[in-house]
Structure 1
Amino acid sequence: MLEKVSVYIATHNRIELLKRALNSVRKQTYSNIEIIICDDGSRDGTWEYLKSCNDSNLIILRNSEPLGACVSRNRCINAATGRLITGLDDDDYFYLKRIERFIEKYNLYKEKNFSFLYGDLIINEQNNKFIRKAPKTVTFKDIVKKNHVGNQVFIEKDKIKSELFDESLPAMQDYDLWIRLIKKYGNAIGVQNSGYILDISHPHERISKKSERLIRACEVIIGKNKINKVFNEDVFLLNLYAYGFETHKLTFFKTLNYLKHKSFYRAFKIWKLYR
């Protein structure tokens, strides 16, 4: 019998995009999939739509008022019944074979020590599409330099339940979780052609893109993960700041501005690492 895979989606006031996301999971070539959706206090008919869905593989949850994406994701994870789990943002979608490819890779590595699988990102801008290739592996040293993982992972449910998203962080909750999981369980493994479309072509704002939230999140993540003992703290801070604008190239002037023009030489050295 095929291993059950749970897919969680947190959503808020994006009913049409949610329908696309949900349909992309339903159309997967892998058949044993459970979908858990948490409506985070939507007021656009999302809950009524979910209640009308006649799908025995769909579990629906609702927050009576908006509590944030990470509260909703954690509720979904805790409600999941599959041994394996992955996520999908409500404004993104899967290609047909995403789950199948993750299962194939997982079966190759399941007897080895690793934290999770992650994949390529197909980033859809308004007038452009490009692929952010997944490296073969990501170590703890790699992840504190840069988020090579992206916004979703494929993981054993017990592992992600042992950590969960930090609901107190103002931003970068996914990046923080990947750091903690790799630190605890070992390297992460990349999957090529994994079929995740990160859509930034729509007018809705993506979660956690405001720079002031990113800066506050940086400080918390550095402190609790002791990042400055692993890698230069300034570079990590800059990376987290830049991560909110990851689809754009980081310019030297952005780097200098981030450092508040205190050190031209330091800004140049940091910029060279990420250009």
Structure 2
Amino acid sequence: MTLVSVVLPTHNRAGVLERSLNSVLHQTHYELELIVIDDGSADHTHEIVQRIASVDSRVRYITQPNAGAPAARNRGVSVARGEYLAFQDSDDAWEPEFLERLLPFVVGQGATVAFASHRLVTSSRAVVVPAAHQSFPRATLRRRNIASTQTVLMPRALAIDTPFDEGLQRFQDWELWLRMLRRDDIQFVHVHEPLVTLYRSADSISGGSAASRDRALHYILCKHRTVLQTDPIAMARLAARAYLRSFWWLKRVVARGGGDNGT
């Protein structure tokens, strides 16, 4: 069978961690390793992981000083043994068939990223993202992120070639997809089934202040302007979301051209 490495970073989420771990270990595709990267937790995370690891040898537990989720994911990728790679977060859950349903779209298909729809659950509502099947995911991904980290399956080699940006506190997954969009050989395939549930609470990494969100969007706009300039709608949406101060400033960013290294 195909070995899949699942990388799960965690930091002080002992209260919800076991649900996430079990959703990985109870997959119908049994041939997997679960790499838990404990990113400097100060709660009883180690007790939970070590208890589960004592009865399931597929669990690998690695601790490190707190460095943030992108660095923890990159650490997991660097030690993964599987040919294919998936990510899970410590407060979310997969349906049992998640890996089984996505694997046929990536095995033997070269540089292909498959992603499933997900349920986004907050204290006030639950929605499916994306709600409709995406026949051309590359076009949609330029405009908005429809592929959360926990919903993807990809070749490990691709994850090594394109690591997470460790300087970003928000939108690390979308920034990664935008980087992949620069390569014509990378394909994205959408599996239109809600196979993942994302739970959003006040302390989720996707929460945080409006200021941190705006800084991250500003950074992404500048770093990926070459990709975004090919789609005026994508540029306009991102600029509006980042609360850019003036149309003049936006024109100046677009006019710079050249490389994608500045902020």
TM over 0.5: yes
Structure 1 CA distance for aligned equivalents of residues 95 and 215 of structure 2: 34
Structure 1 CA distance for aligned equivalents of residues 154 and 92 of structure 2: 19
Structure 1 CA distance for aligned equivalents of residues 81 and 127 of structure 2: 34
Alignment partner, residue 144 of structure 2: 146
Q: How does 1:112-191 map to 2 (within 5 A)?
A: 114-132=111-129, 133=131, 134-139=133-138, 141-152=139-150, 153-184=152-183, 185-191=185-191
Shift of 1:259: 5.5
Structure 2 CA distance for aligned equivalents of residues 79 and 167 of structure 1: 17
Give me the identity figure in percent: 24
Contact 1:138 1:188 (C-alpha < 8 Å) held by counterparts? yes
Contact 1:97 1:194 (C-alpha < 8 Å) held by counterparts? no
Structure 2 CA distance for aligned equivalents of residues 50 and 86 of structure 1: 19
Q: Deviations over 1:48-82 (max 9, x none)?
A: 33233312111111113x21111111101111100
Gaps of 5+ in 1: 242-257, 264-275
- When the two chains are superposed, the root-mean-square deviation of aligned CA atoms in Å is 2.2
Q: Deviations over 1:223-244 (max 9, x none)?
A: 33224532333422335x4xxx
Q: Deviations over 1:139-189 (max 9, x none)?
A: 2x4322111223332100000110110001232111100111232233311
Gap change, CA 1:166 and 1:208, over 3 Å in 2: farther
Matched, 1:21 2:20: yes
Contact 1:36 1:80 (C-alpha < 8 Å) held by counterparts? yes
Structure 2 CA distance for aligned equivalents of residues 237 and 259 of structure 1: 6
Structure 1 CA distance for aligned equivalents of residues 116 and 239 of structure 2: 24
Q: Deviations over 1:238-271 (max 9, x none)?
A: 35x4xxxxxxxxxxxxxxxx356x68xxxxxxxx
Alignment partner, residue 239 of structure 2: 237
Gap change, CA 1:208 and 1:74, over 3 Å in 2: farther
Structure 1 CA distance for aligned equivalents of residues 37 and 59 of structure 2: 11
Contact 1:122 1:198 (C-alpha < 8 Å) held by counterparts? yes
Contact 1:120 1:192 (C-alpha < 8 Å) held by counterparts? yes
Gaps of 5+ in 2: 248-263
Gap change, CA 1:86 and 1:238, over 3 Å in 2: farther
Q: How does 1:26-37 map to 2 (within 5 A)?
A: 26-37=25-36
Contact 1:115 1:182 (C-alpha < 8 Å) held by counterparts? no
TM-score normalised by the chain length of structure 1: 0.79
Contact 1:77 1:157 (C-alpha < 8 Å) held by counterparts? yes
Structure 2 CA distance for aligned equivalents of residues 97 and 115 of structure 1: 19
TM-score normalised by the chain length of structure 2: 0.82
Gap change, CA 1:207 and 1:129, over 3 Å in 2: closer
Alignment partner, residue 64 of structure 2: 63
Q: Give the counterpart letter for 1:100 in structure 2.
A: E
Q: Figure out how many residues of one structure are paired with residues of the other and give that number.
A: 238
Structure 1 CA distance for aligned equivalents of residues 228 and 121 of structure 2: 34
Gap change, CA 1:259 and 1:222, over 3 Å in 2: closer
Shift of 1:215: 1.9
Structure 1 CA distance for aligned equivalents of residues 68 and 31 of structure 2: 29
* Farther-moved stretch of structure 1 (41-50 vs 207-216): 207-216
Alignment partner, residue 47 of structure 1: 46
Alignment partner, residue 106 of structure 2: 106
Q: Give the counterpart letter for 2:146 in structure 1.
A: H
SS of the aligned residue for 1:193 comes to strand
Contact 1:29 1:96 (C-alpha < 8 Å) held by counterparts? yes
Gap change, CA 1:207 and 1:131, over 3 Å in 2: closer
Structure 1 CA distance for aligned equivalents of residues 90 and 217 of structure 2: 25
Q: Give the counterpart letter for 2:158 in structure 1.
A: K
* Farther-moved stretch of structure 1 (121-130 vs 2-11): 121-130
